[in-house]
Chains A and B, each alone.
Chain A
Amino acid sequence: MSVLMSIQEDDFDIGVEHLRLKSAGNGVGAIVTFTGLVREFESEPKSADFQGNLSTLTLEYYPEMTEKLLAEIIQQSFDRWPLIAVSVVHRVGSLKPNDQIVFVGVASEHRLEAFQAAQFLMDYLKTRATFWKKIEADGQSHWAEAKVSDNVAAAKWEG
């Protein structure tokens, strides 16, 4: 098993990440990747007054603890599925619309476990890893609210 994990301010290249997964071990027959981007419009149901054009998204994290939590989530994916390699890249700092925020990639022998593990990793990352988003839109800023739908998605993997 091979783990690639990075929390960084710099952008990432999904081509490079894909190549790393491809060459991470023998027997790779499937690679599933997910890339999350900064949306141009902010329309959080809980903060209707903040709807508008997003100018900056700032990602805060808790150094050392966030890495530890991500490593635990990745370990859980290896416990659940027969995976060959997992890669998680999460950006922090100041981001603009259309910027890449997060990358999750899974390499395995067959496609089913790669699809499932990629979704699991994103669902758990969203609800368990200590990152917080601050949104600046139309000259106002506020901290993003956690979404119930994210908790529902993560809960599907429990029990």
Chain B
Amino acid sequence: MINLLFFGRLSEFAKNVSQSYECAGESMTPLIIREKLTLESKALGQELSEPQVLVAVNKMIVKWDHIICDGDEIAFLPPVTGG
């Protein structure tokens, strides 16, 4: 099981999509997950494809082609606005 987290404005677009995926033996990356999510919600897919959106695996920023496995936590991070 790969758990998905959506932060900031991305959470507004992710209310009715899968919050986890099964690896089922296939090689997974955040990019593949983004493609799967885009099939569920085009609007979310567009938001996730914005160049400023970063992806973290187990709380580390990674590239979109990073290989992920069962038990990983994937977080989609829009531009930060703290301080």
Binding site for B on A (CB under 8 A): 36, 59-62, 64-65, 68, 90, 101-102, 122, 125-134, 142-146, 150
The reply to whether A132 and B59 form a contact with Cβ atoms under 8 Å apart is no
The reply to whether B83 and A146 form a contact with Cβ atoms under 8 Å apart is no
- Shortest Cβ distance from B17 into chain A, in angstroms? 18
Out of B5, B52, B56, B82, name the residue touching A132 (CB < 8 Å).
Answer: B82
* B contact face: mostly helix, strand, loop, or mixed: loop
- Shortest Cβ distance from B13 into chain A, in angstroms? 11
- Shortest Cβ distance from A108 into chain B, in angstroms? 21
Contacts between the two chains (Cβ within 8 Å), count = 64
- With most chain A CB atoms within 10 A of its CB, the pick from B9, B56, B59, B75 is B59
The reply to whether A90 and B75 form a contact with Cβ atoms under 8 Å apart is no
The reply to whether B83 and A130 form a contact with Cβ atoms under 8 Å apart is no
**A36 closest partner in B (C-beta):** B83
**A90 closest partner in B (C-beta):** B82
The reply to whether B83 and A68 form a contact with Cβ atoms under 8 Å apart is no
- Shortest Cβ distance from B19 into chain A, in angstroms? 16
Task: Give bound CA distance, A18 to B7, whole Å.
Answer: 33
- With most chain A CB atoms within 10 A of its CB, the pick from B9, B12, B81 is B81
Out of A36, A64, A126, A131, name the residue touching B59 (CB < 8 Å).
Answer: A64
Q: A62-B59, A65-B56, A146-B52 are in contact. Are A130 and B80 (CB under 8 A)?
A: yes
